[in-house]
Structure formats: structure tokens, C-alpha cells
Structure 1
Amino acid sequence: MSDDLKHVVCPHCDKVNRVPAARLESGGNCGACKQPLWPEKVLELSGQNFATHTGRSDLPVLVDFWASWCGPCKMMAPQFEQAARGWQGKVRFAKLNTEEHPGPAGQYSIRSIPTLILFRNGRELARQSGAMNQGQINQWLQSNGC
């Protein structure tokens, strides 16, 4: 595939789209379902679509492993959402509820939550456990080559 085209997985229908690199940040719609490739909300992953989103995207995917009963997870959620807005077209932000979808959490040996894992083309690039604010998330992404 040309360096000018990047694979981006649709957050609505999970289809892989080829998007010109120059148009990543301006948005665009899925070729299959016509929904926006960069919606306002952070992507909610499931056990069924986790591998597609983390493995088929040419963009880095930052996954927040969390649970509804976790206080630090709840505190970090708005910070994660705010950070996501600044990385549109560069990094896909996603969340995985470890209680509802324990498969990926077990596969990646999640021992404490919240845990952030940065993926690119199916490979884990970096991991950070513990709640972070928006600035810390941004700095962590930059220090990991994003």
C-alpha cells in the first residue's frame, strides 16, 4: 500500500477504510456505512472488535482498559475524552470495559486499572498504569513517538 494511503477502521461498522494521509485530520466518512471516521466520542471497544481496531489500523490506537466500579477510571474518563480531541487523525482513542469484555484484558495481562496501552498494527508499543490527566496523556503519547 502506498504511504499516501492509511488504513483506518470505522468506529461504527468496523470496516477498514483507505484514507489519503493528507486527509486524516480533516475527518471523512466510512466508505461502507457513510458515518464519520472521527466521531465526537471515544470509541467503545468490545471483545469482538478489539483485534480489528488495534490490528488493522495504520494509526496508533490508544486503549484505556477500565471498569465501571473503578474510581480512578471515572476520574480519568473526562481527561481521556479531552485528550482525544487533540489527537484526531493522528491517534485513535478507545476504551475497553474489562468487566464486560475480559478476553482482551486477560490477553494483555491487565493487572490494574486504569491501564493505557498504545498499539500500532497489532503490536503493543507502550503501557502505562494509573490515572493521568490530559496533559500527562499528551506528554506520554509524544514520548512514545506519536
Structure 2
Amino acid sequence: MSTVLWLLGPSGVGKSTVGWLVYRSLDRASYVDADQLGLCYPSTADDPANHRVKSAALGALWPEFRGSPLVVSGFLDNPAEARRYADRLPGADLTLCRLRVSRAELRARFLGRGWLTGAVDGVLDHAEVLEAAPGFADFTVDTDGRAPSSVAAEVRKRWTA
């Protein structure tokens, strides 16, 4: 059985940074940023987040990753989206870790990037959607006021690879 850790949360919460740090702490592991798998546009009206494309791409790569821990960072909003990916990963022990941050800190982080600043309200709305779905992830880690290395250490401690 291969273990897969999926880090989810709104844009700016630290999914990619923490995912990379967790990956670097593991032996013989792999890392995938699901957003990179879905950079195919235009997306369709019934799948604006390109989950069909991303899940198919991850499924195509799965035979190469199987047998070692895999860390994935990317957007997931509900159990149905998570199942779409899990169905493409036969034999995977999938763990979902939600990264959470306060509204004020999320706004500051997102605006601090200096790009796509007009999307901040949508990012904050996305964070609220996730907040309204308790129990969706296997565990949640708060990131407010914490260095990415501290968050990654907690994620690593709570996830068995």
C-alpha cells in the first residue's frame, strides 16, 4: 500500500510550501502540485477547476509514484472531489490534511504575494466554504503566525508515511 498525503486549503494558506517541506523530510518520496497538472485552458463550464484533467493526469502518473510516499498539494472542496482523485489512485492510503488560517492572515498573505490581488475576496470565500465543511479532511492544521517549517513538522508528525 502506498501512502498519499493531500494538503488542501484556500490559495495562500501554504499548501505548496508545506507540501514541499514534508516531501523533503521523507525518504524515497514524490511531490506533485495538483494545480500544475490542471493548467489546461479553457476549462469546461461544468468543471471550472479542471478536476477531470488533474485527476486523469495524477492517475496517469500514479504507476510511477506507487510504492513510495506521495505528497500532493491542491484544491479540494468536498468529499466528491476527493473521491474523483482517490478513484485514480488504486491501492493508495489517502490522507487529507486541511491547512487553515484566519481570515485576516489569509488576506495579508494573499495580498502580500503582489499578484492577482483582485481575487482576494474569492479566496476568502473559498476559505469559508472549507470552514463550513467540518470533518471533510482527516485532520486540520492551523497555520496562523507559524513558520512553514513548524507547520510541516506538525503535519509530518500527524501523518504516518
TM over 0.5: no
Relative to the length of structure 2, the TM-score reads: 0.37
Relative to the length of structure 1, the TM-score reads: 0.40
Structure ranking higher in strand proportion: 1
Larger Rg: 2
